[in-house]
């Protein structure tokens, strides 16, 4: 596999089955459940206010080799907008040739053009050392002054009821 014949482009509604395929493969690679479906991807990404943007990497035959999903993010302490990468997937066949880096670079350029993004943030699973090594090689740094917290659906609904 070489990078010469790969095209990275924005996902359209017609591409949602490909994006779904990539995200299902990522969930499988990580051992995660995957209840999301194409209807959710369409509603979240193609409504009046999209909650995510996505890019896919295809070869000349429209075979899927990678995908990245990202969203706007604001930091008042940095006084800047950024992008939060929620998902990055590269097929086994395309690993090791720079596609992950290229997908992140394209997402960064897209986010800069769309909302003026000036930084990138993401989370990596503790039990994914190869992914952590990949991000380390790109210059990502762990922030010791932050802890990622999560409020599940039950907690979220409880919190909403306290308004």
pLDDT score, position 44? 98
In a domain, 82, yes or no: yes
Question: What is the value of pTM for the model shown?
Answer: 0.93
Q: Quick check: is 98 in a domain?
A: yes
Distance, CA of 22 to CA of 84 (rounded, Å): 18
Q: Does any domain span residue 2? A: no
Separation in Å, CA 148 to CA 32, 124, 144, 145? 18, 11, 11, 10
Domain membership of residue 31 (yes or no) is yes
d(C-alpha 92, C-alpha 99), whole Å: 11
Q: In this predicted structure, what is the pLDDT of residue 2?
A: 62
SS3 state of residue 86: strand
> Residue 1: what pLDDT?
54
For residue 30, is it within any domain? yes
Helix (H, G, I), strand (E, B) or coil at 77: coil
Q: State residue 153's pLDDT score.
A: 93
Number of folded domains that form the chain: 1
Residue 102 within a domain: yes
Which DSSP state fits 2?
-
- At 4 the pLDDT is 72
Domain-located, residue 117: yes
Question: Which parts of the chain register pLDDT below 50?
Answer: none
Structural domain range at position 42: 7-160
Structural domain includes residue 149: yes
Instruction: Tell me what pLDDT residue 163 has.
Output: 80
């Amino acid at each position: 596999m070489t990078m010469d014949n790969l095209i990275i482009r924005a996902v359209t509604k017609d591409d949602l089955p490909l994006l779904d395929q990539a995200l299902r493969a990522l969930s499988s690679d990580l051992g995660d459940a995957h209840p999301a479906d194409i209807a959710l991807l369409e509603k979240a990404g193609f409504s009046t206010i999209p909650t995510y943007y996505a890019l896919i990497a295809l070869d000349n035959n429209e075979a899927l080799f990678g995908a990245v999903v990202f969203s706007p993010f604001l930091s008042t302490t940095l006084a800047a907008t950024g992008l939060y990468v929620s998902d990055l997937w590269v097929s086994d066949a395309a690993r090791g040739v720079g596609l992950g880096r290229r997908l992140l670079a394209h997402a960064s350029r897209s986010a800069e053009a769309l909302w003026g993004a000036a930084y990138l943030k993401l989370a990596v699973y503790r039990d994914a050392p190869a992914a952590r090594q990949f991000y380390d090689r790109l210059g990502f740094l762990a922030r010791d002054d932050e802890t990622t917290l999560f409020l599940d659906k039950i907690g979220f609904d409880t919190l909403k009821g306290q308004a």
